[in-house]
Amino acid sequence: MTAPQEDAADLPEAGTPASAAFEEDGQTADSGESMDAAGTSDLPPSFKPVRRPTPLAAPERADAEAAKSTPRRRGSNLLIVLAVLVVVALIKTFVVQTFGIPSGSMEDTLREGDRVAVTMYDTYDVDRGDVVVFTDPDNWLTVTEPTGLKGFVQDTLIFLHLLPEDSGHHLIKRVIGVGGDHIVADGKGSLTINGVEVDEPYLKSGRSASDVAFDVTVPAGYLWVMGDNRANSADSRFHQDDANGGFVPLDNVVGVAKAIVLPPSRWSSLSDGGAFDAVPDVTADATVGADP
């Protein structure tokens, strides 16, 4: 059978777009655009434009900004480190410094090899019973400066302010008398200060207050010092013939030892155990070696 032929009137003319030959909702499309009943274009719906986010910085730009901030950060850290070092140096130099114990003259309180923390700010606030570090007042020491590796190490520690410049010229003893005190030892173990007998609990076991007899009055601005190991301490008692009469000028005091800091097994504070609590204060005479 032959397929039915479409009526020529029902077909679009050749060359005419198909969209122009059909009706939509009773209206004929014009120029390929469909129109609604109101005569408006049937365009896609419009929306409020969306603001685009700011584009991220390119990796190169981010790297450049990071590179710029790195020197500033490093410079800030360097300033902090320098400030800390300055503060530490000031503390070590002017507030607290450590000293090594070179001998057994202060046993059993201090042993050879101990290191003590010494406050440097209260050199004129010294009292009986304090353990003080002072510079050699009148050639009490015979000092031989170290050489070789030992000398290099000492110079390095001095440069770092871990040791004082004249570290080999210091002594450490206990203050027994201050300006005005009248101190008497009978050479048989009795020690009195301003008429009050003193019991010293810190003395090395088996040692008496003094096997050397003396009778002195401490002038203003001076100290009378002795080691806790009385049988092995070349202290004020043995320098009474010196220019200062065995007295140590307050100007020579470097600081007051407060505690043992090394070795860790020896950590402890230093005190006099209340040995001088009952001793009365008296007015000091300014003359070195003045009689009571």
Maximum average pLDDT range among 53-67, 128-142, 238-252: 238-252
Query: Taking 80 as the threshold, does the pLDDT of residue 286 lie above it?
Result: no
Look at residue 290 and tell me whether its pLDDT is greater than 80.
no
Domains of the chain (ranges; CATH) run 98-269 (2.10.109.10)
- Give start and end residues of each alpha helix (H) in the chain: 59-90, 148-159
pTM, rounded to two decimals: 0.62
* Whole-number pLDDT of residue 88: 63
Lowest-pLDDT choice from 35-39, 53-57, 132-136, 263-267: 35-39
Quick: pLDDT tens for 225-264: 999 999 999 999 999 999 999 999 999 999 999 999 999 9
Q: What is the mean pLDDT of residues 98-105?
A: 90
Longest dimension (CA), the chain: 160
Residue 126 three-state SS: coil
Q: What's the mean pLDDT when you consider all of the chain?
A: 76
Per-residue pLDDT tens digits for 149-204: 766 765 676 566 555 555 557 899 999 999 999 999 999 999 999 999 999 999 99
Q: How would you list the strands of the sheet with 182-185, edge to edge?
A: 196-197, 191-193, 182-185, 214-217
Residues assigned a catalytic role:
105, 173
SS3 content of the chain, % helix, strand, coil (to 5): 25, 20, 55
Q: What is the pLDDT of residues 186-197, one digit of tens each?
A: 999 999 999 999
Structure confidence at residue 36 as a pLDDT band (50, 70, 90) = very low
Round to whole Å and give the CA distance between 35 and 24: 8
Look at residue 133 and give its three-state secondary structure.
strand
Span 106-117, pLDDT tens digits: 999 999 999 999
pLDDT band at 77 (very low <50, low <70, confident <90, very high): confident
Percentage of the chain surpassing pLDDT 70?
60
pLDDT on residue 27: 44
Cβ atoms within 10 Å of 231's Cβ, excluding its own: 15
Element (H, E) at 173: strand 170-177
Contacts for 44 with CB less than 8 Å, ≥ 6 apart:
none
Number of Cβ within a 10 Å radius of residue 30: 9
234 or 3, higher pLDDT: 234
Q: What CA–CA distances, in Å, run from 122 to 126, 132, 224?
A: 7, 11, 18
Residue 195 dihedral angles phi and psi, to the nearest 5°:
85, 0
